[in-house]
Amino acid sequence: MWWLQFVAKKLDKRLSDLGATAVVERGLGDDQHPSGYEAALDTWLSSLWSRLNEIKPHFFPKGPDFLVSNEELIGLPKVQVTYHNVDDMDSRLSTATDFKYLQMQIGRARSMSSGKVPHEKSKPDAFLKMVKNFPLTRASHEKDVRHFEFEFVSQVIKYEIGDVLEVLPSQSPAAVDSFIQRCNLDPESLITVHPREMENCHIDNNVNTLDVPIKLRTFVELTMDVTSASPRRYFFEARSCIFFATAEHEKERLQYFASPEGRDDLYQYNQKERRTVLEVLEDFPSVQMPFEWFVQLVPPLKNRAFSISSSPLAHPTQVHLTVDVVSWTTPFKRKRQGLCSTWLASLDPEQSIYIPVWFHKGLLPPPPPSLPLIVIGPGTGCAPFRGFVEERAVQSQSSTIAPTLLFFGCRNENNDFLYRDFWLSHSENDGVLSEAKGGGFYAAFSRDQPQKVYVQHKMQEQSERIWNLLCEGAAIYVAGSSTKMPSDVMVAFEEIISKESGAPRESAVRWLRSLEKAGKYHVEAWS
């Protein structure tokens, strides 16, 4: 949200320069705050209405309470659900193997969804079937990282190394059924969903979304995240303000959660515990909300994005992924699991389960074989670089390839050294990462000794080699956690350049900035 703050600051300064007087102090929100931008907004709005009441009591007779006419302000839901009496229209859904039909089915549902991102493709690009599923970490290790291999079962999609695969996860059928039952809905009813303001509706030209009904259960299963995402604050606010709670104590609690005073308690109850929509409904059994409001307020079921860890030259009919199976414990000792990663880990390659996927360009453009590379990929950040190495191994059979230096990091050599045999095999016998080819593979095991060792420490040890490759025009690729790693790696490069060139640190910083502008410093990071 920093760019919005920049606009606000610039506008505030301009108005001040023109002689304007601030009614209240400028307010700046932070969307990364645990409670969202409302954390700052509530306090600011309260001070705004109080001040306006002081200045113009005739126009603002209720002062801060001006905002609390929510029955009038909230109006109707933004979407409208139409029920259709069409016999057995979607009877093929559960047994369909016609991929065109499945593609249209998903496209229809997700185009109707109010949570659909404008211009996002509704229909999947292809369907995949898992053919391999095995752990890369030791069973006793605290993390479960897995290697998945998928075969195309519909059309084969051409992709490149560095691309990203988006997967539509499957929700627990039992949880979906519980949600539908809790909301007193008929799962077999046929519906269409569209915005009340039709002119604001984005229509996918390839899917006649508004005319073709779909089963209610299918719509919930494909578009509404009832089993993993926590509802936003507006979910509680809308429910309490429209009096969907018939029990007085539940209504009071919801209204408290929706108030500025209850924001912190709502955060503890909802976001910190990662309560699902279904769990919240179970905590407030008197709430009976029309389905239109659920469609609007339940978080949309989002695709999960993963860096592709294979090369299409090496595996022309396959796609590989490297996935950390997410799990954690909440402050109140609830066990939580990532929806998509846990589902993928549970799949049996012997079963015929078809996974809808989308292909996208990532932030790591495929390098030509003549370009020297310095790549840093600790943890699952190594995933795209596995594809890079596979690609160069194939290319090396028919042409000369430039050197590749690869830095990998993990906690323990024996527990989570991902793709150990793969990296070591390509470091030997004139492989892509071998010294004979001008390359190298360097692994940092942070917890195998009293002093922690990270990838930036291994980079410092290879300072001269890195500098020599940079002087030869090497490109830098970094992938992994978005916490401290990317900035620590950048600092390591600054120190290496300054040390090896003899130039001041400021010159090294400018040199790296010029690499970024030239498209030779790429970072793909995730939280």
In this predicted structure, what is the pLDDT of residue 341?
A: 97
Average pLDDT over residues 100-104: 87
CA distance 186 to 188: 5
The two three-digit tokens of residue 291, written as one number? 């389905």
Give the three-state DSSP class for 158.
Answer: coil
What is the phi/psi pair of residue 319, to 5°?
A: -135, 135
Asked whether residue 276 carries a pLDDT value surpassing 50, the answer given is yes
Asked whether residue 486 carries a pLDDT value surpassing 60, the answer given is yes
Q: In the chain, list all ranges with CATH 3.40.50.80.
A: 373-526
In this predicted structure, what is the pLDDT of residue 83?
A: 93
- At 33-67, the pLDDT tens digits run 555 555 666 667 677 777 777 777 766 555 555 44
**What string of DSSP letters covers 188-233?**
T-EEEEEESSGGG----TTS-TTTS-EEHHHHHHHHB--SSPPPPH
Q: Find which of 121-130, 203-212, 388-397 is predicted with most confidence, using mean pLDDT.
A: 388-397
One-letter identity of residue 475: A
Q: What is the CA radius of gyration of the chain?
A: 27
In this predicted structure, what is the pLDDT of residue 92?
A: 42
CA distance 54 to 61: 9
In this predicted structure, what is the pLDDT of residue 456?
A: 97
* Residues 400, 404, 405: CA angle, nearest 5 degrees: 160
- Say which residue, 35 or 372, is predicted with more confidence: 372
In this predicted structure, what is the pLDDT of residue 156?
A: 92
Nearest of 43, 11, 49 to residue 30 by alpha carbon = 43
- At 167-178, the pLDDT tens digits run 999 999 999 999
What is the phi/psi pair of residue 50, to 5°?
A: -65, -45
Average pLDDT over residues 351-379: 96
In this predicted structure, what is the pLDDT of residue 30?
A: 62
- At 5-31, the pLDDT tens digits run 667 777 877 788 888 888 888 877 765
The residues, ordered by sequence, that sit 6+ positions from 276 with a Cβ below 8 Å of its Cβ are 175, 226, 227, 228, 229, 230
Average pLDDT over residues 477-486: 93
User: How, if at all, do strands 164-167 and 404-410 pair?
Assistant: unpaired
Asked whether residue 93 carries a pLDDT value surpassing 50, the answer given is no
Which residue in this structure is represented by tokens 């506008």?
Answer: 11
Nearest of 3, 324, 399, 14 to residue 143 by alpha carbon = 324
Lowest-pLDDT range of 113-127, 193-207, 413-427, 466-480: 193-207
End-to-end CA distance of the chain: 17
Asked whether residue 3 carries a pLDDT value surpassing 90, the answer given is no
In this predicted structure, what is the pLDDT of residue 460?
A: 97
Lowest-pLDDT range of 351-355, 370-374, 385-389, 458-462: 351-355
Average pLDDT, the chain: 87
> Residue 224 burial (CB < 10 Å; 0-12/13-18/19+)?
buried
The two three-digit tokens of residue 40, written as one number? 């700052």
- Say which residue, 434 or 139, is predicted with more confidence: 434
In this predicted structure, what is the pLDDT of residue 37?
A: 56
Give the three-state DSSP class for 133.
Answer: strand
* Partners of 65 in the β-ladder: none
**What string of DSSP letters covers 4-35?**
HHHHHHHHHHHHHHTT---SS------TTSTT
One-letter identity of residue 47: S
Edge to edge, the sheet with strand 214-215 lists: 79-84, 190-195, 214-215
In this predicted structure, what is the pLDDT of residue 87?
A: 58
CATH T-level fold of 373-526: Rossmann fold (3.40.50)
Lowest-pLDDT range of 72-86, 212-226, 453-467: 72-86
In this predicted structure, what is the pLDDT of residue 527?
A: 80
